Amino acid sequence: MSNIYSQWTALVNIIFTVAMAVLIVARWSDAHLFFKGIMVFGLCLFPVIQPATIYIRSSAQAESIKDETLLYFDDAGMHISVNSHSQMIKWKDYKATINRPFVLIPVPDGQHAYILTDRILKGQRKELYNYIQGRKQRVLF
């Protein structure tokens, strides 16, 4: 959710929600029951329904993953291992690392990202983030 609300999508969501609140205040007394329901649904769409839908979909997706994924980082790059398949992303090809409260998200390429919570990192989120940033800076200079 923090990723969604850190993009332009957040601005659209906020504008739509405020517009629905203004519409409800302006037209509530004139509206029939059916349109009152539509207005309430529109008001709840982004602050309630969208986050609930994203949570349900992501929970189902997380539960469907049966294979154990191993990630490790060294001076060569990021190593990813799933079952018998392994891959190494060199630091020069590594895209980004998103550092959010309680979560570190390594993004090795444009298609994949790995959510590493504080529970998984056992309190070493800042150290790993600094290590990755240090490796990326060495490649740039």
| % of residues, the chain, pLDDT over 70 | 94
71-109: pLDDT as tens digits: 999 999 999 998 889 999 999 999 999 998 889 999 998
DSSP labels, the chain: -TTGGGSHHHHHHHHHHHHHHHHHHHHTTT--HHHHHHHHHHHHIIIIIHHHHHHHHHHHHHHH--S-EEEEE-SSEEEEEETTEEEEEETTT--EEEEETTEEEEE-SSS----EEHHHHTT-HHHHHHHHHHHHHHHH-
Please report the pLDDT score of residue 6 as a whole number. 67
Task: Say yes or no to pLDDT of 1 above 80.
Answer: no
Please report the pLDDT score of residue 59 as a whole number. 86
